A and B are shown apart, each in its own frame.
Chain A
C-alpha cells in the first residue's frame, strides 16, 4: 500500500473510533450537558476525520474541494449547535449533574 492509502485507512479508522466514543458517550453519560460534551467533541472529530479520509480517497478536483468545504463547515457548525443546546438547557434552568446526585 502507498503512504496515501495508509493515511486514508488510519483517518477512517480514527474517525470510526471517535464516532463510536461519541455514541457510547451519548448513551452512557448522565445528563444533557455531559451528553452535549460527548456529541460535540468526539462526534465532530469523528466526522471530520472520516471526511478527511474521503477527501484523500477521492480523485483530486471538485470532489475533494467539496469534501474540504464539508469538513470546514462541520468543524464550525457542530460545536456551535452543541453550544446552542447547552445554552438553551441552561436557559430552561436544568441543573448540571454532579456526583452529589448519585448519593
Chain B
C-alpha cells in the first residue's frame, strides 16, 4: 500500500459492485420467500431476517460503509426494529383483548377468513424485521468502531 493512501480507505471494485447489483434483488426476494414459508416448511422470520441483513452487509462491502450509511438512515433501522416488536406484540395482545390466549390466531376469524395463516405470516414478518434491523445495526456499530480505531491510528 502506498504511503499517501489513507489506511482503511476502500476503493470500489467494478466486479464486486456489478455482482452485488445483480444478486441483491434475488437475495431480498429469497429472504421474503423464507419468511413467508416459515409456517409450513423450513425457514421462518429469523432466517429470513438474517438474509435481509446480509443484503445490507453485501451492499456495504461493495459500495463502502459510508454510502450505505447515507442510503440507509439509522432511524429507518430503529423504526424497523420497533415496528417489528409492535406488530408481534399487537397481534399477540390483540388476541388477548378479543378474549383468547396470547397469539391465539383463530379469535381473528370473524374479521378475516384465513386469520391463522395470515396471522402467522404477519408475526413472521415482524420477527424478520426485528432480526434484520438488529443485524444491520450491529454491523453498523462494528463498522463505526473500525473506522474510529483507524482514525486514531494516525498519531
Contacts and interface: CB of A to CB of B under 8 A. Distances in A.
Interface of A: 73, 76-77, 80, 83-84, 87, 91-93
A83 B1 CA distance: 18
A83 B23 contact: no
Interface in B1-41: 1, 10, 13, 15-16, 19, 22-23, 26
Contacts of A73: 23, 26
B16 A80 contact: yes
B72 to A, nearest CB: 21
A83 B10 contact: no
Given A76-B19, A77-B19, A91-B1, A84 B26 contact: no
Contact of B23 (A76, A91, A93): A76
A80 B24 CA distance: 13
B16 A93 contact: no
Interface residues of B, number: 10
A87 B16 CA distance: 10
Interface residues of chain B: helix, strand, loop or mixed (majority): helix
B16 A76 contact: no
B19 A80 contact: yes
B20 to A, nearest CB: 8
A76 B10 CA distance: 22
Given A83-B13, A83-B15, A87-B13, A93 B1 contact: yes
B1 to A, nearest CB: 4
A80 B26 contact: no
B23 A77 contact: yes
B63 interface: no
B139 interface: no
B10 A91 contact: yes
Contacts of B15: 80, 83
B61 A84 contact: yes
A7 to B, nearest CB: 28
Contacts of A77: 19, 23
Q: Which of A77, A80, A92, A93 has the most CB of B within 10 A?
A: A80
